[in-house]
Amino acid sequence: MAASQNHADLDLIAYQMAPIGIVLTENRIIRACNPEFAAMFGFERAALIDQSFAILYPTFEEFVRIREVGVKSLRETGRYSDERIMARADGSLFWCRVRGRTLAIEGDPLAKAVWSFADLSSARPVAQLSTRERRSSCTLAKVAPRRKSPGC
């Protein structure tokens, strides 16, 4: 029992001290997140619990659009990843790398999922683009898949 308790403690330390943001969602509602995730977005952890992921997107339109993009991959492979622009609590925008895995056995892959977020702002500053420009960049990225697009 002591050994299993030690492993549980180590698992918690790894989650709490991870250098990337980790978040558990149910139907795109934040149910748990580590301190790095909250800090990355400029929130206190408690303020994010039970909030919609919509508060972390530059616009509600982008929140809706990215669902449509990601669900297909989650259904087919159980995983999804991209680089996109997100919004901090103060409204500032930043690039982040997102990776997710569905925990749903069947049905909607967003029913339960775990996600990691890595802040890329030190290596990739945000250019000021309108929602329309970000959408156009996403269309171009589908033609040239190696090119990273804002908010895709």
Longest dimension (CA), the chain: 57
CA distance linking residue 21 with residue 38, whole number of Å: 7
Architecture of domain 2-143: 2-Layer Sandwich (3.30)
Q: What is the pLDDT of residue 125?
A: 82
Mean predicted confidence (pLDDT) in 104-115: 96
- pLDDT > 80? residue 6: yes
Q: What is the pLDDT of residue 138?
A: 46
- How many CB atoms are located within 10 Å of the residue 17 CB? 10
- pLDDT > 80? residue 134: no
Question: Per-residue pLDDT tens for 42-101?
Answer: 999 999 999 999 999 999 999 999 998 899 999 999 999 999 999 999 999 999 999 999
**Percent of the chain topping pLDDT 90:** 72
- pLDDT > 70? residue 30: yes
Mean predicted confidence (pLDDT) in 141-150: 38
pLDDT band at 124 (very low <50, low <70, confident <90, very high): confident
- pLDDT > 80? residue 152: no
Q: What is the pLDDT of residue 143?
A: 34
CA distance linking residue 51 with residue 53, whole number of Å: 6
Q: Is 80 exposed, middle or buried (0-12, 13-18, 19+ CB in 10 A)?
A: buried
Q: What is the pLDDT of residue 131?
A: 58
Q: 3-class DSSP state for residue 109?
A: coil
